[in-house]
Structure 1
Amino acid sequence: MSQSRQETWTVRRILDWTRGYLERKGDEHPRLSAEWLISDVTGLSRVQIYMNFDKPLTPSELDAMHDAVVRRGRGEPLQYVTGEMPFRHIVLHCERGVLIPRPETEVLVDAALEGVDAASLTFPAILGDVPAPVEDESEEEASPQSDQHGETDAASDGQPAEPAEPTEPAAPAAPPVLVEPGCRVLEIGTGTGCIALSIASERPGTRVVATDLSPQAVALATRNRDALGLEHAVSVVDGDLAAAVDPELMGTFSVLVSNPPYIPSAVVPTLPQEVIGYEPGLALDGGEDGLDVFRRILELAPRALAPGGMLCCELFEDNVETAAELVRAQGGWASAEVREDLTHRPRVLVAVREG
């Protein structure tokens, strides 16, 4: 591409060249990667790319495309190259050092929303306008936990998850209508904030405390929260587990949700280079059996959840059943079940407290 910079590079030509280049570099989805990069550089949607084949790239677009293709050719995840990732109904900023959201985690959000909906039946809220921002009682140095984990569709078959199709950035949602009383959710290990922000945006009135051990993740989740206009619905705090959460909030959460580090230590080196070469190990390695952080969350859950509250965790397909047995052995739980992810692998543990 650099040898022909003075020639006209149209959308079609750059698409064909990039696809071929990335294919030679071993990209498993070279056309999709090429489309995503072109979309990011030009601002064209995936459909618009194919409607503007003859559109020439500007010199600045060509420079940006060259840098992006080089980074992708070296194996850097697309989400880090473009700096964003669509997740459910929102678009999140992504950066190296913070786990990339996976499509499978959307199933975890679905489970958490069930807990929110069940709690809303117990604690009905009256919708209405809020004349002034409501101070979040959980911001008193609330805080909490370790990095989000993150597998990819990788831990089981050795292949990275296919990147999501590029989408045009979603317009920031209107600030949610705050209600009192509202359902409270605690997320441990928020990463980009994908889980907490999805819950808050899809269930206005829900108050979420999202924690992470990584200051970088806390900063990124906070930027994502502010970009979505969810400042008064979500508190993002820095600390281990729920150590910095306001003690008065403990025992009031209707849902405790987490995507903790859950890859067994021996499995981590077998993950694709695109994962272990770029994503934070702290968010991946769950110890010998992958359940080190989960055991700590399970110990915390009875103190954090209200009676009848729900625990939802994404885990490794080979240890999620073991996790369910740990829940049953602890006692005090009305139910514990394992749900499948989008690829029909056992992935999400859902447990409900008695009461």
Structure 2
Amino acid sequence: MAEVWTVKRCMDWTRAYLEEKGAERGRHEAVWMLSAVTGLSRMELFLSLDRPLSKAELDRMHGYVVRRAKGEPLQYILGDTQFRTITVLCEPGVLIPRPETELLVEEVLNFLDKEVLLASDARRARVELPWNAEVAAARSAEEARAREAAAAGGGSGEASADAPAELLDVTEEGERAEIAPGDGTPEAEGVVQAPEGSTVPARTGRSARVLEIGSGTGCISLSIVSERPGLVTAVATDIDPHAVALSVKNREALGIEPARADFREGSLTAPISHEERGSFDVLVSNPPYIPESVMPILPREVTAYEPHRALASGADGLDLFRHIVKAAPHMLRPGGLLACELFEDALSTAADICTLAGFADVHVTEDLTGRPRFVLARWR
């Protein structure tokens, strides 16, 4: 008789194996791989713990586990990741989106709403991110199962070890900072600020134009235009043709018109025409920013798999940023915003660079972990 591998058995084995290989979140990774293999959502997976896996599913799962055990990032294995409210495709050779960058998008949206779009209703309602609904539903379902088991004399009524507490960790690998529950802040509740309902309130301002340098997967520009439909257009550049092609692929998958998110191959602002210069309300970038001295101590799954030129930027991590600051005055309208994500130890120097270049209202903001992460500056 053939050996039967259920969802639960495969999940438990994968967790133990990956943790033995050094994974810090083996359970989390096992759940995401099984979800991809079976086509079940995370919620459905925990409601199907006794479901047998087919041979094809087991073979595919085996391939995933082997690749992950060697250190390959989960996003490359699964082929996509969640970024704010959209899903973006990920491919080897293009930098994987990070949770910090979601807050960079939020800074840009806050500026546009206040300074450009001039929304008549400034209230910003909290909107649950997609995976939170799955967590809540799975938790409710598991609690119901536990109550039924208790009523039938099968236990104490407490939730099983297989859920739902584990579900609190079922978020995209590397795509969400650890969240401490219960402090009442939007970050703690796993939410982002967004306009009330699904559209932006009525406005009296003009439409906005955003320039992104270093598009990568396109997650920044695509998030901005998708969260402000009809109100914002973006032009994004990247020197890597592979990154540009992936950005276009993500744009097509999201059904966004090319005119709303225009991805161009070229270095920095080289693809921007003379007529377009000075027309942008925001210049945003998540450039390479890791100091060369820090590169050797990064996790192997970063240095061995992600592109070096998308990570490192000179001795202090600011080589490319200096070029961006020089170009920004020629790209921005008066009062336009420069917004960049940078290495935590370089933000003070970055702020000084902006001030010396003639920017006003220069300030540094933190990421979800409280580390300095973004420099924001207004062109006079």
Bucket of the pairwise TM-score, normalised by the shorter protein: 0.7 to 0.9
In the other structure, the counterpart of 1:108 is 104
2:298 corresponds to 1:271? yes
2:256 corresponds to 1:222? no
In the other structure, the counterpart of 2:364 is 338
In the other structure, the counterpart of 1:324 is 351
Deviation at 1:182, TM superposition (A): 2.1
For 1:189-200, list aligned pairs within 5 A: 189-200=214-225
Amino acid at match of 1:202: E
2:257 corresponds to 1:233? no
2:352 corresponds to 1:349? no
**Structure 2 CA distance for aligned equivalents of residues 119 and 186 of structure 1:** 16
Question: Aligned with 1:318: secondary structure?
Answer: helix
In the other structure, the counterpart of 2:46 is 50
For 1:1-355, list aligned pairs within 5 A: 6-121=2-117, 163-164=174-175, 182-204=207-229, 205-231=231-257, 232-331=259-358, 333-354=359-380
Q: Relative to structure 2, which stretch is displaced further, 110-119 or 61-70?
A: 110-119
Deviation at 1:229, TM superposition (A): 1.1
Structure 1: tracts of 5 or more residues without a match: 125-160, 166-173
Deviation at 1:80, TM superposition (A): 0.4
Alpha carbons of 1:307 and 1:244: their partners in 2 closer, same or farther (altered >3 Å)? same
CA offsets 1:190-249 (integer angstroms, 9 cap, x no match): 100110000000111211001101110000011001111112310000000010112211
**Structure 2 CA distance for aligned equivalents of residues 245 and 21 of structure 1:** 50
CA offsets 1:26-74 (integer angstroms, 9 cap, x no match): 1110000100100111111212111101111122111110100100111
**Structure 1 CA distance for aligned equivalents of residues 119 and 3 of structure 2:** 65
In the other structure, the counterpart of 1:131 is none
Amino acid at match of 1:246: S
**Structure 1 CA distance for aligned equivalents of residues 235 and 116 of structure 2:** 17
Deviation at 1:181, TM superposition (A): 5.2
CA offsets 1:221-278 (integer angstroms, 9 cap, x no match): 1100111111231000000001011221110100000000000111111101010010
Question: Aligned with 1:114: secondary structure?
Answer: helix
| 2:95/2:307 contact within 8 Å kept | yes
Deviation at 1:334, TM superposition (A): 2.4
**Structure 2 CA distance for aligned equivalents of residues 224 and 105 of structure 1:** 17
Deviation at 1:118, TM superposition (A): 3.3
Amino acid at match of 2:227: E
**Structure 2 CA distance for aligned equivalents of residues 9 and 122 of structure 1:** 57
Deviation at 1:329, TM superposition (A): 1.1
Structure 2: tracts of 5 or more residues without a match: 121-171, 177-197
| 2:365/2:373 contact within 8 Å kept | yes
**Structure 2 CA distance for aligned equivalents of residues 22 and 197 of structure 1:** 33
Amino acid at match of 1:187: E
Q: TM-score, normalised by structure 1?
A: 0.82
Deviation at 1:115, TM superposition (A): 2.6
| 2:364/2:374 contact within 8 Å kept | yes
Deviation at 1:123, TM superposition (A): 11
Question: Aligned with 1:18: secondary structure?
Answer: helix
| 1:193/1:224 contact within 8 Å kept | yes
| 2:217/2:246 contact within 8 Å kept | yes
Question: Aligned with 2:373: secondary structure?
Answer: strand
Work out which structure has the larger RCO, using CA pairs closer than 8 Å and 6 or more positions apart in sequence.
1
**Structure 1 CA distance for aligned equivalents of residues 117 and 174 of structure 2:** 37
**Structure 2 CA distance for aligned equivalents of residues 236 and 335 of structure 1:** 30
CA offsets 1:80-103 (integer angstroms, 9 cap, x no match): 000010010000000110000000
Report how many residues are paired.
Answer: 303
In the other structure, the counterpart of 1:149 is none
Whichever of the two has the greater Rg, that structure is 2
Amino acid at match of 1:216: H
| 1:115/1:309 contact within 8 Å kept | no
Q: Aligned Cα RMSD in Å?
A: 2.2
